[in-house]
Structure 1
Amino acid sequence: MAFVTFCGLRTGDLRLIARTVLSKIFLENLHLHACEVLKGRRAVVLTTLPRLMVEGFLKEYLEVGEVVGAELQVVKGCYFTGVISWPDKQRALRDMVKAGAAIVNLSNVHHHQLSAKEIYVVREEESRSESSKMPRNKYPKPLVFHDGRLAFLPTPCEMMAFFMWIPVAIPLAVFRIAMGIVFPYKISIFIAAITGI
């Protein structure tokens, strides 16, 4: 699956996607206790996901020190091949000793018992319950979705406002497109600015 997903993708594109879109997904599934444990510590996170996918989120939102995970191989310095190489787990475990704490799931506790001073076990059934997920008002930073607007949970009031905007939005979009086609570039930029672009 990783080959199909990443083959031929530019490295900059993945960093952009990981930083914007994946941050939203990770925040919505963030375990409350894990976030409290990581807060204010130099942490090293060992993950089975490709490092580039989670590193931006972990460093920006949870302020971890280092992320160790699978590496995506690159060709010509800027394109992913789709092949994943796994990191040196011994180095990761040595880094965890320096960090002092490990957050693990029940299946891989034994890997970390000798390497971390504190071990926090997150059980699978506990991590899936809604009560263990971090509520939006406790996010470490506000969630800004990839298009630059604040992402919101669609409540009935917000959805009503959205559907009431559609009759205005469609003619406005058609007008903006028509002005871009009919007028020269310099004039169409001015008209676009007036109509809110």
Structure 2
Amino acid sequence: MLNGLLKIKYYLLIFSLVLIACNTRIEQGFEIIPPGLNSTENLIKGIRPDKDYQYWACIRQDFSGKIHPETEIITGHGNISYFMNIKFDQPNSGFLFKMWEGYFYIAYIENDSVKLVTNKTQLIRFIGKIDNLEEALLLAELDNLEVDYTRDIGGSYKKTKKGFEFYLTKFYKCPVKTEPYRVSIDIAGDIKAKSLGFYYNIDNNICLD
């Protein structure tokens, strides 16, 4: 009886390993995402709005409460004099929040007044068509889907008629583990993400702050 149970456990283990091995294969037609596109700043620098604005800038703002909070312009386009001559109230949140870094928002000048982008819906409206890799990956990052260059299944893409398809990952801090996802993002900014049903880089004894 004991030997029979051991055999069942052995075959279940082999089956699980084979299933994971099959799941780690990506479909034909996918390419490795170019280097550097796991950086939020590089994705932001790739934004190309469909509409011309007098000036627009993406700004990283430190959290309130710091003794010397920093304000950093990640990228800016247009005539900055419009921006320098108009006062506006800094928002207390943005479309993207990152631990230890602060939050990101966009300020743009339209009809000689400042307008702000502080959430995902406003960001999609500001960009217009999601028609380049950086814009699509930025939207994915807002849903905690990231590029993992250590495996094809975490960092591959394919351009389609409707937009982009990806293999991306979600990274969990406690316990540390990575979950691969199959993702599609169309030109309207609609995202569909499906877990591939397994984890790798699992360490139940480690949590990151």
Query: What TM-score bracket applies, with the shorter chain setting the length?
Result: under 0.3
**1 or 2, which has the higher strand percentage?**
2
TM-score (norm 1): 0.23
**1 or 2, which has the higher helix percentage?**
1
